Amino acid sequence: MSGYTLDTPIQSATIYLDSTNCVLREPYYQYDLASPVTSPTGVRMLLSVIGISLPNVINNVTEHNNIFSIQAGLTPTNYTIIIPVGIYSSWSFRDYLNSQFIARGIPVTCIYSNNSFRYTFVSTYAFNIKNTTNHPTTCGHLIGSAKSSNNEYIYPIEATIPYWTLVMPSTVNFSPSPFVFLKINNINLTNINSFGNINDSLVRFPVNCQYGDMIQYRPTELNRFLINRTNINMIQIYLEDIYNNPLSIPSGVELQVVLKIDYIYPPTLRDYDAGTISHYFKMNPIQAVEEDLEEE
């Protein structure tokens, strides 16, 4: 629960944001409000998200995970393949790699197992999948690379005999970002991500439908943010995936967001130690009583 009590007679305001009406689309959706949302003197604004709509056409191969590097051949040679950004299945990704192997003369074949959900690479020569500065591999979760106890992908992955076979240690994962972060650029918030960094996330919503359907999100409980501003005449929002990268969607995809503005009186500040014994004695000091000494 947000913990705020709506104690003012001021009517709440609802802002309907549709990306078809934004004035900028990159690097964020910018909306210039002809009628600014203002806060009367003596009250504060609470900002919350009450609805989001977005078509599920999120790319699972993006510019951040589309590089595959391998060392193969009779004379070991390094090859780096860049996969075009788009939506891939396990089979279409396999077919693209095999087409590049053939086109570039790389003596390796990729096989996908419908039973184990893993890729297997085979060759007549020794080979390995590598990840170095000059020849990176960024598609580890797509192809099924293993991770160490330090949460880092383990490379190189060496093929073994007979017939130089490399069965990937983990299953493929072509699911796009399971969650999407809606962030706001021009209003400071104090949310914290997995790295402990403060960011401007308004809400994290799940990708709760199949490809081609519409993601519909309406929170069961509003997360309200106390805004340190007296007016809002411009809103800049953007989307990120779970890796803190810009969400990879086609440029023509439209986003709808519904914001709500509530009003409250400024909350009263309490002492940091309120409720403790030391605070009680600080607020209710014991009066020293002087005793009269009588002479015997």
pLDDT digits (tens, 9 = 90+) for 63-78: 999 999 999 999 999 9
Query: What residues contact 253, with CB distance under 8 A and at least 6 apart?
Result: 54, 55, 57
Burial level of 136, CB count in 10 A (0-12/13-18/19+)? middle
DSSP 8-state secondary structure symbol assigned to residue 147? B
Q: pTM to 2 decimals?
A: 0.83
Q: For residue 16, what are its two tokens?
A: 């309907």
Amino acid making up residue 1: M
User: Rg for the chain (alpha carbons), in Å?
Assistant: 29
| pLDDT at site 284 | 74
Amino acid making up residue 196: G
Domain with CATH 2.60.120.1100 in the chain: 13-58+177-264
pLDDT digits (tens, 9 = 90+) for 137-195: 999 999 999 999 999 999 999 999 878 999 999 999 999 999 999 999 888 877 777 77
What is the spatial distance between Cα 211 and Cα 175, in angstroms, rounded to a whole number? 10
Check: CB of residue 136 under 8 Å from CB of residue 69: yes
Residues of the chain with pLDDT under 70: 1-3, 267-275, 279-280, 287-296
**What topology is assigned to 13-58+177-264 in CATH?**
Jelly Rolls (2.60.120)
| pLDDT at site 2 | 56
